[in-house]
Chains A and B, each alone.
Chain A
Amino acid sequence: MKGMQGVFTGFDIAASGMRTEMQRAEVVAANVANMHVTKGPDGLPYRRRTVVVEETAPSGFAAVLGSVGAAPGGTRVVRVATDTSTPFVPRFDPGHPHADANGFVLMSNVDIFKEMVDMAVIQRSFEANIASMQAYRGMLQTALQNIRV
């Protein structure tokens, strides 16, 4: 169906949003789970991961009606990046096997409060996508009920 918007495109778009939020939630969970890792495979503490999200088919809608075609729009996770801009936090713990000569252990750069706030935002965003999916569903349902031949 070229030049036509699929009837179920709205579902796909909302689903892409939900998928992205889920992936974001997974990364937050990974950050929280690894926040106390002082030595990873590279010999350094765990680095906080961030998700790079991108809009799909950004110019798709801008054209005339229905030219979006195969790309329904929505959002996607491009990659998971590591946060190298915030430094590792040194903590004085001389008894720790990973402590340096001065007794400091480098802790991961995960900030638990930041992660918790991110998680709350993700949860609400997920719900917003569900709400838009439900509204879309309601729309199609009323159309089916009303237009009966």
Chain B
Amino acid sequence: MLELGRGVEAVVRVLDAMALRANVIAHNVANQNTPGFKRFEVVFEEGLREAFRRGDDPSSVVPTVRHDMSGPPGVNNVSTTQELAELDKVRLLYDLFSRRAAVAMSQLNRAIQSK
């Protein structure tokens, strides 16, 4: 069977991961003044790289949330500027991959419509 949706699948995975990362960053920014708060981060690219290296299906990579316990214990470790820079990066990647999804889908569409 042809796996038509496969190209979109991996792209959608990236979009999901980016959306999760945006939420996690929003959570970090919202807690920038919460005493003792430790920031969260989404680990995804490493898993993706590993999957490509091993030849696994990239759409099987699941983003995980890691609790970053760096810094002295009981001290908030959020750097707002760093979080906002990260968020801007997420935004660009989201833009890029939503374009990729659109391209994949329009290709699929063309394949369906042409006889």
Contacts and interface: CB of A to CB of B under 8 A. Distances in A.
Interface of A: 5, 7, 9-10, 13-14, 16-17, 20-21, 24, 53-55, 61-66, 68, 72-75, 121, 124-125, 128-129, 131-133, 135-136, 138-139, 142-143, 146-149
Given A10-B23, A62-B67, A132-B29, A146 B87 contact: no
A17 B15 CA distance: 24
B49 interface: no
Main secondary structure of the interface of B (DSSP, over half): helix
B49 to A, nearest CB: 18
Contacts, number: 128
Given A65-B62, A142-B95, A143-B94, A13 B40 contact: no
B26 interface: yes
B6 interface: no
Contacts of A73: 23-24, 26-27, 30
B70 interface: no
7 contacts: A5-B23, A61-B67, A62-B65, A75-B34, A128-B80, A136-B22, A146-B95
B3 to A, nearest CB: 20
B22 A135 contact: yes
Contacts of B65: 61-63, 65
Interface residues of B, number: 40
Nearest to B15: A143
Contact of A54 (B32, B34, B62, B67): B34
Contacts of B67: 61-62
Contacts of B15: 143
B64 A146 contact: no
B25 interface: yes
